[in-house]
Amino acid sequence: MALGRKLISEGVGKMTVYVRKSIFVLLAFLVALPLIFVPSANPMVSAASDATINLSAERQLIRGFGGMNHPAWIGDLTAPQRETAFGNGANQLGFSILRVYVDPNPNNWYREVATAKRAIELGALVIASPWNPPDDMVETFNRNGDPNAKRLRYDKYTAYAQHLNDFVTYMKNNGAELYAISVQNEPDYAHEWTWWTPQEILRFMRENAGSINSKVIAPESFQYLKNLSDPILNDPQALANMDILGAHTYGTSIGNMPYPLFKQKGAGRELWMTEVYYPNSDNNSADRWPEALDVAYHIHHNMVEAEFQAYIWWYIRRQYGPMKEDGTISKRGYSMAHFSKFVRPGFVRVDATKNPDTNVFVSAYKGNNKVVIVAVNRGSSAVNQNFVLQNGSATNVNRWITDSSRNLEAGTPLNASSGSFFAHLPANSVTTFEADLGGSTVGTIYEAETGTTLTNASPDSFYPGYSGTGYVDFTAATGASILWNNIYCATAGTKNVKIRYALASGTRNLDVFINGTRVLTNTPFAATGSWSTWGEKTISVQMNSGINSLRLVTTGTEGPNIDWIQVSPQ
C-alpha cells in the first residue's frame, strides 16, 4: 500500500498523489454513472445467453484471497478479528493469504508475529513486503526535480538481501514461516519510500535475489506496469531467482490485465495480485451499495482477464475495507467472501462464458470434487441466467446471495440433474453457486499455438482441420520445441497425454520432457496420410500435483505439426 494513498483517505499528503487520485476520481465517476440512470419503476427481468462452464478446460491454480495487516500504521488485528479474517465459518471472511510489513528496523518485527501465527494456524499463507531498507542502506538523489528521492545504495545490494533474509529467519524462528517475501513494495510509485528503476530491480534479481531463503516476489508495480517486469522475464538468471511475479492493479484497465510475455516465459512462476483497494478509499465507504459490488466485479477481471492466482486487498480492517473498524464484515467484505469462502487454495479456474449478458460477469472454479460459480450482476434489472455444465455433472446446486438487503444469504437449492440450471440473479447482486461434481471429467486440452513457449517453431493455420486458432509447425531439424508450462494436476501420479498431430509421410521422433527432465526418448509419430489429416498418439508420464511443464523436442528430423495435447488421469 502506498502511504500516500493512505493519507489521501485521511486528509493529508495529497501533494504527492495527484496521478493516483485522478485515477480513482475517474473510477468513482464511472461507478456512479449507473446510479444516475437507475429507473424508478420496478425493474424488468431480462433473459441472458447461456453461461457455459467447461469443467475440463482448466486455467490457473488458485492460491487464495486475503489482505494486509499493518500494526505499525493502524494497529494490529485483535484476536477475535483474526478469527473473522482467516476463519471460514459463519460470519467469517475465509481469507487464506496474509500480507505483512517488513519494517526497516528489526526491533519492530515482533509486531507482525501474533496475527501471522494465527493466520497460519487457520491455514493461510503469509507473504511480506518492504517499503524501505534500513537507513544506513539508503541514499537520496535528484529524481525529476525532487532532491530528496530515496534509493538503495548500489554498494548495499548484498546487505539488503541479507536484511530480507534476516526477516525470513526471524519469522520462522517465531513460528510464522513466510511463503514468500517481496523485494520492494511499488518501486515505481515511491514518493514516500524507496524508488527502483527497472534496471536496478533487474540487477538485484539477477545478482542478489538467489541468496534469499524464501520464495521471492517481484516487482510489485503499483499499476501492473509491464516495463518493470519485462526485463526480469527476458533475463534467464533474474527469472530463475523470481518465484512470484507480484503486481498491484490500482487503476489498471481491463485491457492491460493480460500479460502475454508472462505466459510465454513465466514457466513455473506464479502470478499474484498482491495489493489493491477498489473502487476508492473514501471514509466509511465499506457499506455503500451498489458501490461495494464493484469489489466482486474487480476480482472477476483479476481472475479471468489477468489470470492472477491470488487477490490481496489492502488493509483488512479499515473504514473502506472488508472488515470495518468495529471488526464486523462490510458489504465490500461480503463481496470478497463470495470468492474467498468458496474458491479455496488448490482450486483451479475453469473456462466459463465470462459475460453472458450485458451486465452479468461469470467465473468458475473446481476443486475438492466441487464446482464453484460466481456471478456478478451489475445491472439495475434482475436477470434469469441459464448455466450449462460441460464435461461434468452435478445434481443439487447451493447458492448464496449478496445484494442491497442481503449479506451472503443462502438461497433455495437448484436442480442441475439435466446438465444445466436456471438461476435468478437479482439486480445489483453477486451470487455464488456450489455443487458436488458427479462422475468424472475428461482430460484438459492445451492448445499448441497459444500459451506455449516455442523454440524454432511457429504457429500456422495453412492446413485445415485444427482446433483453436491453428497449430504449431516445427521449423528446424533438431532441437525445435513446444513448451507447455501451466499444466495443472490435482494429484500426483501417472497421466495420459494425448497428442493430436498431422504428418504427411514417414515417421518423425520427439523427445518428451516433464518439469525439465527428459522422460521419453525418440518417441515415434507415424504418418497420418496428409498434413490436413489429424491423428492422435497417447503417451503415459508421471506428473506432480500442482503446476507441471511438458516439452516436446525434435530429434534428428523435423517433427509433425502439433494441434494440442490432452492431459488426463490414467
Catalytic residue numbers?
186, 275
User: On the CB side of 568, how many CA atoms lie within 13 Å of its CA?
Assistant: 16
Name the residue with cell 481491463: 254
Torsion of CA 66, 71, 77, 82, to 10 degrees: 40
Taken in order 148, 149, 153, 157, the sign of the CA dihedral is: positive
Name the residue with cell 487503476: 251
What span, in angstroms and rounded, lies between the C-alpha atoms of 163 and 81? 30
What span, in angstroms and rounded, lies between the C-alpha atoms of 377 and 51? 13
What span, in angstroms and rounded, lies between the C-alpha atoms of 11 and 9? 6
Grid coordinates representing 207 are 545478482
DSSP 3-state assignment of 271? strand
Comparing CA positions, the residue from 276, 250, 245 lying closest to residue 261 is 245
Single-letter residue type at 531: W
Beta carbons of 151 and 204 less than 8 angstroms apart: no
CB atoms within 10 A of CB 478: 12
Beta carbons of 501 and 562 less than 8 angstroms apart: yes
Beta carbons of 514 and 473 less than 8 angstroms apart: no
The sheet carrying 138-143 orders its strands as: 138-143, 146-152, 194-195
Phi-psi region of 468 (alpha: psi -120 to 50; beta: other; left: phi over 0): left
The DSSP call for residue 234 is: T
Angle between the 293-304 and 331-340 helix axes, to the nearest 10 degrees?
Answer: 30
Grid coordinates representing 499 are 497428442
